[in-house]
Structure 1
Amino acid sequence: MSIPPPPGPHQPDPAQGPSPAPDPYGPPPQGQQPYGQQPYGQQPYGQQYGQPYGPPYQAWGQGYSPYARPSSVNGLAVASLVLGVLCCFPAVGLVLGLIALAQIKKKGQSGKGLAIAGSILSSLGLALFVTALATGGFSDAWDEFKKGATEGTAFSVVKGQCFDAPGESLEGLTYDVDEVPCAGEHDGEVFGEFRMTGGSAFPGDSAVSDAADEKCYPLQETYAMDTWALPSDVDVYYFGPTRQSWRLGDREVTCIFGNTDENATLTGSLRADESTLDGSQVALLKSLNALDTVLWEEPEDYPEDDLPGYRTWSRDVHDSLDQQIRALRAHSWPAKADKQVAALVKDMEDARDEWEKAVAAAEDDDVDAFYIHYDKGYEYVDGPSTVTARKALGLATKRPTYDEEGGDGSGERSGGELNV
């Protein structure tokens, strides 16, 4: 009878049946040494064959995973850095940075460098904000912003510039024009500009139109002094601010020449001022235009309905004639035009006497006498002596005509607008 060998450290007891699989992470079974260790004095397996001693697998220390778990980044630190870099809400960025440093220290989070950088940048931004506020830098920046915004909304055109308008129309709404040479065909020619005054509230399209009617026509006579040279189909239009551009500081009204037929264009420049005319031409046109300006201010009602108004206006005409007579006599005219201008001055003197009598008739409430002197005073206007003086100086000689809508001496003129 064979005797079974005694159970060894690596053999189960037959009487106990098969032993369960050992737990690799639990304590070793009773009577056994931990894996990889041998009793004192016993050679490890394989030593006798010359193999080096060592465990067959790498043993890790505590835990189950060889990968270290990194600490989380503080979100407030990231937000502080972003606000500091963007320079927006610097005070908020500084507060977030300080809170982030306290949380990082307490929770052991990462992001300390981000919080410090965000705090520093936010502090610099806050310092710049306070400096700009104290020195008025924000006011200048806002003005520049409004200027840029306005220029983007209401485009810029300058005196003497010719252009084509979108849709080939000078009425309606536009956001841009194309500059073209004045020598060729074009839709409009800029002859002046002025700025409106007012608060932040838009005064309305009618107020812009009234301002243009009041100020564009006088500017016309400084750009196209020889008004007789203007084609009959040319009228005054303008670029005006809109409700939107007014909020951004746009107050510019630009006065332009355009064709009364929206399907037609202009050809060549209409400019006739001191840059294109000689001294004698300018002297004569200044006097004639000054008188025309006063004549355009004639009261709208009939003399019998507003005789006091006509009395005041007649006195203004008399005084203007007196002033222009002295100016024409003081100028040295070229020989080719001396006699012609002298004849014109003589007619102006006769007209001055008639307007003086018209004033006296109005003071006496004599409407019939006023009409007599009123008609005689107007005889010299655009009369033969005016034509011969113009011709001698090389100016236009075709008298302008006015229809009922374009103007008849009552001061009413037509025009149009192009809002921008």
Structure 2
Amino acid sequence: MSIPPPPGPQQPQGPYQPTPPYPRQASHGQPYQPWTQGYSPYNRPAPVNGLAIASLVFGVLCCLPGVGLVLGPLALRQIRRRGERGTGLAVGGTVLSAIGLVLWGLMLASGGASAFWEGVKEGARDGASISLAKGECFDAPGGRLAGETRDVDVVPCSGRHDGEVFAAFRLRDGDYPGDESVGDTADARCYVLRDDYAMDGWAVPDDVDVYYLTPTEESWSAGKREVTCLFGSVTEGADLTGSLRNDETVLDADQVAYLKAAHLLDAALATAPDSAHVEDDLPGHTAWAGRMSAALDRQARVLRGRTWPAGARGPVRSLAAAADRARAEWTKAARAKDADAFHAHYDAGLGLLDPKAAVPARTALGLAATPPTAERGEGGGSPRTPDAPDAPGVAATEV
């Protein structure tokens, strides 16, 4: 007794019937053709024609409707010949391509295509952020560095230009901090970074000041975070000529060492208290005097600790001695008990910081030897005099 196998997906249930061998030919004398459709784990659906897919894609995009119109009929012929799928895709691509071709014809006839591409280019310009590298010079629209701008033209620094980039830094991510906060941060950081690019402040013309490119709320939402610091003229209509760069890439080792010593004092001068009147903040002013005294002490030690070229040794020693005398007055100002005592020693100490005393040393070292007409520190920074109003700030250029 034989036990029939269990029924399978291709096997009817019921009593086992042996399957006769397949004949070599069907009853009509034609070669036997196996099924191409039906339920079977070994069946594979017919592939989708590639040209039909391409025709639909080009028809949807509308940018190249002629391509879709050619690919659609080709796909239909291949589908009939190969038994592939995709008739609906080919027909849909052909119809959409035909519609797109008609629309393009209407746009060309009416000038709409030209207006469309102008709009695309304008949108691309508006969405792009200004990207300037350190050391690059540029012209701004209308020659204005104040206000809002979306584009600049990079030009050689050797010729006339509106601005020169000396530094850049990135703001922290997060919500837009506001125009005032962004401007304050740019102002503080750029004025510090300028000394790394233009180490000799005496070589910077008096009408040149610091500007900056900052993100707006709109560009912030598009990912703009960079602040670009730059030099520009404060005189309306005036240009810059030549690069203002003077750093380690331009100066020799002795010049760099001298200017770094000068910057010690400039950094202390920049820490003057916000209150202009000594009576309103005597502790703040005496603390500032203490920082000035410490900076003068470090400056004198740096000037004495280096072997200078023969022609500069005498002038540099004289500057170190003047720094010692000024330090004594600033030290007394730091110990003042009232505003009158502070003013007495402050005036004496500031008088000993006469920029003209640095001219012999600068001449011997080959640095700029003409003191700025504006009141500045030895390295070019501006000391703020107590009881004097603050200088106006420079407007930022936003991008």
* TM-score in same-fold range (> 0.5): yes
1:385 maps to 357
**Post-superposition CA distance 1:275-302 (Å, at most 9, x none):** 1111111111111122112112212322
TM-score (norm 2): 0.65
- Over 3 Å counting, the alpha-carbon distance change for 1:228 and 1:413 in structure 2 is farther
Identity %, equivalent residues: 48
Rounded to whole Å, the distance in 1 between the matches of 2:140 and 2:365 is 36
1:416 maps to 395
Rounded to whole Å, the distance in 1 between the matches of 2:305 and 2:88 is 82
Counterpart residue type for residue 277 of structure 1: L
- Over 3 Å counting, the alpha-carbon distance change for 1:116 and 1:331 in structure 2 is farther
1:352 maps to 327
8 A Cα contact 2:167 2:229, kept in partner: yes
Rounded to whole Å, the distance in 2 between the matches of 1:151 and 1:351 is 54
**Post-superposition CA distance 1:227-267 (Å, at most 9, x none):** 11111111111111121210122110001111112311111
- Over 3 Å counting, the alpha-carbon distance change for 1:280 and 1:191 in structure 2 is same
Query: 2:289 aligned to 314, 334, 344, which one?
Result: 314
Rounded to whole Å, the distance in 2 between the matches of 1:150 and 1:245 is 12
1:327 maps to 302
Pairs aligned (count)? 287
Query: 2:195 aligned to 209, 217, 221, which one?
Result: 221
Query: 1:207 aligned to 181, 185, 203, which one?
Result: 181
8 A Cα contact 2:138 2:164, kept in partner: yes
**Post-superposition CA distance 1:151-189 (Å, at most 9, x none):** 952121011101111111111222221111111101110
Alignment of 1:46-57 (within 5 A): none
Structure 1's unaligned 5+ residue stretches are 1-76, 87-110, 119-148
Residue 269 of structure 2 is aligned to residue 295 of structure 1: yes
- After TM superposition, give the deviation of residue 382 of structure 1 in Å: 3.4
Counterpart residue type for residue 157 of structure 1: L
Residue 145 of structure 2 is aligned to residue 162 of structure 1: no
Alignment of 1:157-306 (within 5 A): 157-199=132-174, 201-299=175-273, 300-306=275-281
Rounded to whole Å, the distance in 2 between the matches of 1:284 and 1:407 is 18
Rounded to whole Å, the distance in 2 between the matches of 1:276 and 1:151 is 37
1:372 maps to 344
Rounded to whole Å, the distance in 1 between the matches of 2:272 and 2:158 is 37
Alignment of 1:21-170 (within 5 A): 113-114=85-86, 153-170=128-145
**Post-superposition CA distance 1:52-74 (Å, at most 9, x none):** xxxxxxxxxxxxxxxxxxxxxxx
**Post-superposition CA distance 1:355-404 (Å, at most 9, x none):** 1111122xxx2322221111111122234422221122121222223389
Rounded to whole Å, the distance in 2 between the matches of 1:383 and 1:187 is 29
Structure with max Cα Rg: 1
- Over 3 Å counting, the alpha-carbon distance change for 1:350 and 1:195 in structure 2 is same
- After TM superposition, give the deviation of residue 117 of structure 1 in Å: 10
- After TM superposition, give the deviation of residue 196 of structure 1 in Å: 1.1
SS in 1 for 2:191: helix
Rounded to whole Å, the distance in 2 between the matches of 1:359 and 1:407 is 20
8 A Cα contact 2:163 2:230, kept in partner: yes
- Over 3 Å counting, the alpha-carbon distance change for 1:117 and 1:324 in structure 2 is farther
8 A Cα contact 2:264 2:298, kept in partner: no
Query: 2:318 aligned to 343, 367, 385, which one?
Result: 343
Rounded to whole Å, the distance in 1 between the matches of 2:88 and 2:330 is 87
Rounded to whole Å, the distance in 1 between the matches of 2:397 and 2:353 is 34
Counterpart residue type for residue 332 of structure 2: K
- After TM superposition, give the deviation of residue 82 of structure 1 in Å: 8.1
**Post-superposition CA distance 1:124-173 (Å, at most 9, x none):** xxxxxxxxxxxxxxxxxxxxxxxxx9995212101110111111111122
Counterpart residue type for residue 321 of structure 2: K
Rounded to whole Å, the distance in 2 between the matches of 1:399 and 1:204 is 39
Counterpart residue type for residue 284 of structure 1: Y
Rounded to whole Å, the distance in 2 between the matches of 1:316 and 1:180 is 42
- Over 3 Å counting, the alpha-carbon distance change for 1:376 and 1:81 in structure 2 is same
8 A Cα contact 1:150 1:249, kept in partner: no
Rounded to whole Å, the distance in 2 between the matches of 1:183 and 1:341 is 33
SS in 1 for 2:290: helix
SS in 2 for 1:286: helix
